[in-house]
């Protein structure tokens, strides 16, 4: 991807894509340019056959401080129609990350506030430094976390999401793990090792199976299955068992050898 102003995007030989936020001078806060570039990056990477997983990361003191306050201040002078267009673009960015067909992993080295928490909530897996802090801080600015709200509720549940939004409290990494906002908190100097372990675990699994898993859990939702959903679960696994990838996975297991996709990822 050429001509990027706010991101650095790369794909390595193992099929791991990295999307790095590049606005460290403003704590990696996003403006309209970063929103557009993140939307395009996750959409494009999600369509690439050679991409196995996507890492969202940044460098500096903050992972992402949410929306750039100068941009927000400029936007406050816009009319209702222009503000709606901005919100729709932000919403499209969140959807592009959350609905990306490839596994997404957030590597969080520093603080995440406001929309930065939304980025974490939209990713499948979040690994953070144990000194990182998290805050749904919109109420401090007289607004609410409307666009990130559904993703926050999905990550931590309705009551915790309300608490975080109402109080704008700062969570330590340990509490963020406890409520499900992030999955793992490690010392900063162990962050890349923890990330590599997770990426290695993903690489051992069938790439098509990983995409089907994401679609499957989106389809069944979080509630006990209805008759229709129960039928869907059966249909899905029966279809998946017959795929070449599944056959290779079982054959490799019984032959006590790596499956073809793992050998190709080394």
Residues with catalytic function: 138
Distance CA(31)–CA(86), nearest Å, equals: 10
State the burial class of residue 173 (Cβ atoms within 10 Å of its Cβ: 0-12, 13-18, 19+).
Answer: buried
What are residue 104's DSSP bridge partners? 54
Q: Which residues contact 157 (CB under 8 A, 6 or more apart)?
A: 179, 180
Q: Are 69 and 106 in contact (CB under 8 A)?
A: no
What is the rounded CA–CA span in Å between residue 11 and residue 50?
9
CA distance 60 to 195: 17
Enter the DSSP assignment of 30: B
Closest CA to 30 of 91, 78, 72: 72
């Amino acid at each position: 991807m050429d001509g990027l102003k706010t991101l650095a995007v790369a794909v390595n030989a193992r099929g791991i894509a990295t999307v790095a936020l590049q606005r460290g001078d403003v704590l990696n806060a996003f403006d309209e340019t970063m929103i557009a570039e993140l939307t395009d990056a996750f959409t494009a990477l999600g369509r690439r056959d050679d991409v196995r997983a996507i890492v969202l990361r940044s460098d500096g003191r903050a992972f992402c401080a949410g929306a750039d306050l100068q941009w927000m201040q400029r936007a406050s002078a816009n009319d209702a129609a222009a503000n709606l267009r901005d919100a729709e673009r932000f919403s499209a960015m969140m959807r592009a990350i959350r609905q990306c067909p490839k596994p997404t992993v957030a590597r969080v080295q520093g603080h995440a506030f406001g929309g930065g928490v939304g980025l974490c909530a939209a990713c499948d897996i979040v690994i953070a430094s144990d000194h990182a802090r998290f805050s749904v801080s919109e109420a401090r600015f007289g607004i609410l976390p409307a666009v990130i709200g559904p993703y926050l509720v999905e990550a931590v549940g309705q009551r915790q999401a309300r608490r975080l939004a109402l109080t704008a409290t700062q969570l330590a990494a340990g509490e963020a793990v406890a409520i499900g906002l992030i999955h793992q908190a490690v010392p900063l100097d162990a962050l890349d090792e923890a990330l590599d372990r997770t990426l290695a675990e993903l690489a051992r699994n069938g790439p098509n199976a990983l995409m089907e898993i994401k679609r499957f859990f989106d389809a069944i939702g979080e509630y006990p299955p209805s008759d229709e959903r129960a039928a869907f679960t059966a249909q899905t696994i029966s279809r998946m068992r017959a795929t070449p990838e599944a056959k290779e996975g079982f054959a490799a297991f019984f032959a006590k050898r790596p499956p073809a996709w793992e050998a190709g990822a080394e």
